[in-house]
C-alpha cells in the first residue's frame, strides 16, 4: 500500500483513534490535515507528526459548526489542492434518555457524527482525486447498545446508513466504506505514560482474547483506502475482536447476569 504524497483528511484527529490515524498515515508518507476542538492536543499532535518527519496541517475548530467545516475545507484545498482520503472520525456522546439528554445536546451529537461527515464529503467532492476513498468511523454501538447511550448510538447508526447512501451516490467517483470499532483502548494516544490494566475477564470476553488497539483501526482504514482493495465499496467492517458475534447466555462459559434492583 503506497500512501506517499497522498492527502489524508481526518476529523477528530487530536487524540485517541484520530491521533493514531493521523500519525500512521503521516508515517506512511501521506500529507495529513486534521481538525479538532482541542487546540492544545491538536497542536501537540501536529508537533509530534512533524518531529517524526511527517507533513501535517492542524485546524482548530468544531465540526458541528458549518462555518468551521467550510474554513477547514478551504484551508485544506489552499494547502494541498486536492484530497485522496477523508476519514470521518469525530464523534462524542451526550448520553441519552435516562439522563434526560436535551434536544440541543442530542442534535449536537448528530451534527458532529452525521452532518459533518456528509457536509465535508460535499465540500471536498470537486477536489477528490481519482481513486479517492471516504472512510467513516462508525461503531458496533450502531448494532447493539447499553442503556443511556441514545445520542451516540443514533449518530453511529446514522453514519453507518450514510456510508452506503454515499457509496451509491458517488459511484465511479469515490469509494465510501465504514469501520465499526468495538472496545478500543485509546489510553496510549491520550497519555504517553499510559499503562493498560485489563482484567483476565476483559481480555477473555473477546474471542481473540485481547482488547483492541487504535492501530487495529488505522490498519483497517489503510486497507480500505488502498487502491489494491478498490472492489470494496459501501461496506461496514466490524473491528471488534469478534465480540458482536459472541452469543451470551446466563450461566454459560462463566457468564452470569445479575439484574439491578429498580
Q: Which long-range contacts (CB under 8 A, 24 or more apart) does 197-202 make?
A: none
Q: Are the C-beta atoms of residues 33 and 7 closer than 8 Å to each other?
A: yes
Q: Could you give the CA distance from residue 5 to residue 256 in angstroms, rounded to a whole number?
A: 52
Cell numbers 493498560: residue: 196
Q: Could you give the CA distance from residue 178 to residue 162 in angstroms, rounded to a whole number?
A: 9
152 noted as active-site residue? yes
Which is catalytic among the residues 80, 85, 108, 152? 152
Q: Could you give the CA distance from residue 173 to residue 133 in angstroms, rounded to a whole number?
A: 9
Q: Could you give the CA distance from residue 190 to residue 14 in angstroms, rounded to a whole number?
A: 9
Cα–Cα nearest to 183, from 224, 244, 250: 244
Q: Could you give the CA distance from residue 230 to residue 84 in angstroms, rounded to a whole number?
A: 13
Enumerate the active-site residues. 152
Amino acid at each position: 500500500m503506497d500512501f506517499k504524497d497522498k492527502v489524508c483528511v481526518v476529523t477528530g484527529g487530536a487524540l485517541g483513534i484520530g491521533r493514531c490515524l493521523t500519525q500512521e498515515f503521516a508515517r506512511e508518507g501521506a500529507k495529513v490535515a486534521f481538525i479538532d476542538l482541542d487546540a492544545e492536543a491538536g497542536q501537540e499532535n501536529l508537533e509530534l507528526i512533524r518531529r517524526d518527519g511527517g507533513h501535517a496541517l492542524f485546524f482548530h475548530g468544531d465540526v458541528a459548526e458549518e462555518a468551521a467545516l467550510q474554513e477547514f475545507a478551504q484551508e485544506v484545498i489552499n494547502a494541498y489542492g486536492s484530497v485522496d482520503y477523508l476519514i470521518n472520525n469525530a464523534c462524542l456522546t451526550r448520553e441519552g434518555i435516562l439522563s434526560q439528554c436535551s434536544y440541543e445536546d442530542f442534535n449536537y451529537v448528530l451534527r458532529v457524527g452525521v452532518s459533518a461527515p456528509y457536509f465535508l464529503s460535499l465540500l471536498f467532492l470537486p477536489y477528490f482525486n481519482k481513486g479517492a476513498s471516504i472512510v467513516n468511523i462508525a461503531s458496533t454501538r450502531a448494532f447493539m447498545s447499553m442503556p443511556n447511550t441514545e445520542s451516540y448510538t443514533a449518530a453511529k447508526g446514522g453514519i453507518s446508513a450514510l456510508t452506503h447512501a454515499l457509496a451509491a451516490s458517488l459511484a465511479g467517483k469515490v469509494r465510501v466504506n465504514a469501520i465499526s470499532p468495538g472496545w478500543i483502548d485509546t489510553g496510549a494516544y491520550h497519555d504517553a505514560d499510559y499503562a493498560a490494566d485489563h482484567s483476565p475477564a476483559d481480555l477473555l470476553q473477546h474471542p481473540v482474547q485481547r482488547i483492541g488497539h487504535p492501530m487495529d483501526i488505522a490498519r483497517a482504514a489503510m486497507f480500505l483506502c488502498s487502491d489494491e482493495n478498490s472492489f470494496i465499496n459501501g461496506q461496514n467492517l466490524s473491528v471488534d475482536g469478534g465480540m458482536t458475534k459472541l452469543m451470551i447466555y446466563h450461566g454459560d462459559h462463566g457468564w452470569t447476569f445479575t439484574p439491578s434492583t429498580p
